[in-house]
Amino acid sequence: MQAQECIKKRCSSRAFSSKTIAPALIEKLIDCARFAPTARNVQPWEFVAVTERKTLQDLGTLTQDNGRFIGESSCCIAVLCRDTKYYLEDGCAATENILIAAADLGLASCWVAGDKKPYCAKVRELLKVPEGFHLVSLIALGYSESQSAAGPSKRPLKEILHWEKF
């Protein structure tokens, strides 16, 4: 699939089948994440891939209404960044690379907010993350429960593009 097609095809999915994701596919996602742009090439990220059912359910419980569906996913990738000046931008770029790569590999995904959420400390504790790291995002992954994963409509280009000035 071409990059533009993946970007346009990708949508958030909160319902997953019970099919497991091969570890090789998870490695491909993380490999794509590490090629994200990063300020001054600091590469502050680390990734925790969670596939154990109990831990996935615990993550779903911790994230409450934001990410309860994580408990039903096949994998959740925690995107963590060292406390650097641009950790949030760098971590978000890596997150987006994972989401686009997941669409390319036929996986459903959903970005669950991390940074500044009240559950961050508990998630870091559950995943045994060392001090000095921020939880940027949690990415629920799996195979879509439904065949058609049409996302919400997007605003037309002519409504959002401004040339030269707003």
pLDDT tens digits for range 42-67: 999 999 999 999 999 999 999 988 99
**91 within a domain of the structure (yes/no):** yes
Instruction: Quick: pLDDT tens for 4-20.
Output: 999 998 999 999 999 99
Instruction: Quick: pLDDT tens for 68-107.
Output: 999 999 999 999 999 999 999 999 999 999 999 999 999 9
pTM: 0.95
Q: Answer for the pair 39, 89: CB distance below 8 angstroms, yes or no.
A: yes
pLDDT at position 149 over 60 = no
3-class secondary-structure state, position 46: strand
**Backbone φ and ψ of 155, nearest 5°:** -65, 145
Q: Which CATH number goes with the domain that contains 140?
A: 3.40.109.10
**42 within a domain of the structure (yes/no):** yes
Rounded CA-CA distance 140/132 in Å is 24
How many structural domains are present in the chain?
1
- DSSP E strands, the chain: 45-50, 75-82, 108-113, 133-142
Strand order in the sheet with 133-142: 45-50, 75-82, 133-142, 108-113
- Domain residues for the domain of 125 are 3-160
* Cα end-to-end distance, the chain, whole Å: 34
